[in-house]
């Protein structure tokens, strides 16, 4: 499986558009905070398109399953979302849907994902979240099946220290507002939540942040599963050291730096 170097440092960046500010340019849940940048609606959709290609390159695809969404600039009651029946790497300007917080399609003709309520209910509960991603990465799912918490056995693991929830109400699809609300409750103020034996949901202030965080979560889960399979891991570093690292790798620029690198790499591959 491909993935980023576990030592990668990451930062957070919220979305500010020419049409309006997303309201998350101040610290929010889990410390989301970032410098401003201009982005049009089309820019945002293009970023979503490249996000899908990057996620497939990083092994986050599972047939046509998995979906990403981002709030519509200037209108936090609506969000853009990948449609049903296509792969993450098949998102286009024409097939992106616009959806309301009730889960109903506002604009677009493609079929909507039945798990839309993961996105709508999190957007309702978390005003600081601008982007939501759901995928089925194998190591993260394996970790969820163990019932064990994420450990800081790697630098990516430190990013999720005290910031990874667990949803264990059902293995089934999240196809109702009620189950979506359950996922939002399990997420709480955290960065991400494991859906037990199912997948992950990762949130953030920008598409770039969410994509890089998702890749790092899978790397952290992979390293933890390897370490625990090898025997009893040595104790983690002291809490203050882990918290300092978490702070350092949550500074505001590297999410975009690393996302842009992966986009350039995807473009070189054609």
Digit-coded pLDDT (tens) for 215-243: 999 999 999 999 999 999 999 999 999 99
Nearest one of 84, 224, 70, 102 to 158, comparing CA atoms: 224
Pairing of strands 164-167, 192-195: parallel
Give burial (CB, 10 Å; 0-12/13-18/19+) of 194. buried
In whole angstroms, give the CA distance from residue 268 to residue 202: 27
177: tokens are: 């507002």
For the annotated catalytic residues, the residue numbers are: 115
Confidence of residue 252 (pLDDT cuts 50, 70, 90): low
Asked if pLDDT for residue 23 goes beyond 80, the answer is no
Nearest one of 140, 149, 119 to 62, comparing CA atoms: 140
Rg over CA atoms, the chain:
17
Domains with residue ranges and CATH for the chain: 29-260 (3.40.225.10)
Digit-coded pLDDT (tens) for 121-155: 999 999 999 999 999 999 999 999 999 999 999 99
| The model's pTM | 0.87
């Amino acid at each position: 499986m491909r993935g980023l170097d576990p030592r990668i440092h990451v930062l957070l960046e919220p979305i500010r558009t020419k049409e309006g500010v997303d309201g998350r340019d101040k610290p929010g849940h889990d410390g989301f905070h970032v410098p401003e940048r201009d982005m049009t609606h089309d820019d945002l959709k293009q970023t979503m398109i490249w996000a899908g290609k990057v996620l497939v390159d990083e092994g986050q695809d599972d047939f046509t399953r998995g979906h990403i969404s981002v709030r519509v600039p200037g209108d936090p009651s609506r969000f853009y979302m990948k449609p049903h029946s296509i792969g993450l790497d098949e998102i286009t300007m024409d097939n992106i849907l616009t959806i309301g917080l009730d889960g109903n399609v506002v604009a677009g003709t493609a079929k909507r994902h039945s798990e839309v309520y993961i996105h709508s209910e999190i957007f309702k509960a978390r005003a600081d979240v601008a982007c939501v991603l759901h995928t089925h990465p194998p190591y993260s799912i394996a970790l969820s099946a163990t019932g064990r918490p994420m450990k800081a056995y790697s630098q990516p693991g430190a990013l999720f220290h005290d910031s990874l929830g667990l949803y264990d109400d059902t293995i089934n699809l999240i196809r109702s507002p009620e189950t979506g609300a359950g996922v939002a409750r399990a997420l709480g103020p955290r960065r991400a939540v494991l859906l037990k034996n199912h997948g992950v949901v990762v949130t953030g202030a920008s598409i770039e942040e969410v994509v890089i965080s998702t890749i790092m979560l899978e790397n952290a889960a992979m390293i933890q599963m390897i370490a625990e399979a090898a025997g009893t891991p040595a104790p983690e570093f002291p809490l203050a050291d882990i918290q300092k690292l978490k702070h350092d790798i949550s500074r505001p620029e590297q999410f975009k730096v690393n996302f842009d690198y992966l986009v350039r790499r995807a473009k070189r591959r054609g």
